[in-house]
Amino acid sequence: MQTRVRTWKASRVKWSRKAREFRLAVKALVSSRHPIAAHVIPIRRCNLACKYCNEYDDVSAPIPLEEMFRRIDYLSALGLSALTFSGGEPLLHPDLDELIRRVRERGVMAGVLTNGFLLNEQRIERLNRAGLDYLQISVDNVEPDEISLKSLKTLDSRLVMLSRGAEFHVSINSVLGAGVKNPEDAVAVTNRAVELGLASTVGIIHDGDGQLKAQGERERRIYDQVRRLAKSSYSRINQHNPYQENLLAGKPNNWWWCRAGGRYLYVCEDGLVHYCSQQRGYPGIPLEKYTANDIRREYLTKKSCAPYCTISCVHQTSIVDRWRDPQVFEFSSPPRTLVSIEPARRASDAGPAG
């Protein structure tokens, strides 16, 4: 009886989420003058140190709850549809459940990007109660190595917990690209996600300097195999999208318009709006001063980094407007200022004080 009630509740939550997704999709198609998605950093600290990642440190304190509330409220006022907490590791923020509730109270979809290491049955239930809509974990390999500990071996028990207890949508992202020793691991990760009934995607990762490296025929063959196995609505759409295929071949994607700064916002721990995690520094405007005029300007501005962009979430958001509004403004600063961020400095690397 208890299992039947839980199944009924999970089904109700799922269809309620799909109804909200449909309303927000219609909103995105009707108007291009509001952001669709934002990644917000509640804490830069992480409990891991993946070698390809340049988005963490091991010293930063969590952003205070009231300040995070103000950022959530302002993004909601801009018309935001979906807010994802990333980092660092967002599960390290002591008030993450309250932040998720605030997002949902404002009528915005709530997501989390996590390495998964802090998940357990109790934490999954807390996320259910908070109203989380989406959770994504990237699993980089089958066995942990010096590049990444995010492996099937270390995370499989948590994936099982998610498959049994999560009322939110769970996506397992397998990866190809910089630092991946055994590309075939992506097939194993995808098969395991499908076996557990979880959604799956495949992504191309950059190196520690945020750069793309062309991959060989082996990786392209594996990508094609994983893409056919992948179980998610975006993966099915992606069957006809050359974006990642071109990246694997080291070819530019000149056919899309990056809407970062307009339809997609990246809000760092300092509360500044940037294009994305790999192109911080512009526009670099404090969120509370970011206006509809800024959104429109960036929506219509070409980005010099777009042809070789590896940031899938920016691409997915931008593709909504592929059919309208060609970009007419050039990025106003020289391209050399639009550079990848430096790999984060860890406390162990710091010199003596004073």
**What are residue 112's DSSP bridge partners?**
85, 135
H or E stretch at 84:
strand 82-85
Contact 159, 194 (CB under 8 A): no
Give 95-153 pLDDT, tens digit per residue: 999 999 999 999 999 999 999 999 999 999 999 999 999 999 999 999 999 888 999 99
Cβ atoms of 129 and 166 within 8 Å: the answer is no
Model confidence pLDDT, tens digit, residues 16-63? 999 999 999 999 999 999 999 999 999 999 999 888 788 888 999 999
DSSP secondary structure, 108-134, as one string: -EEEEEE-STT--HHHHHHHHHHT--E
What radius of gyration, in Å, describes the C-alpha atoms of the chain? 19
**Contact criterion met (CB below 8 Å) for 75 and 98:** no
* pTM reported for the whole predicted model: 0.88
Q: What is the pLDDT of residues 205-245, one digit of tens each?
A: 665 444 566 567 788 888 888 887 875 544 554 556 788 88
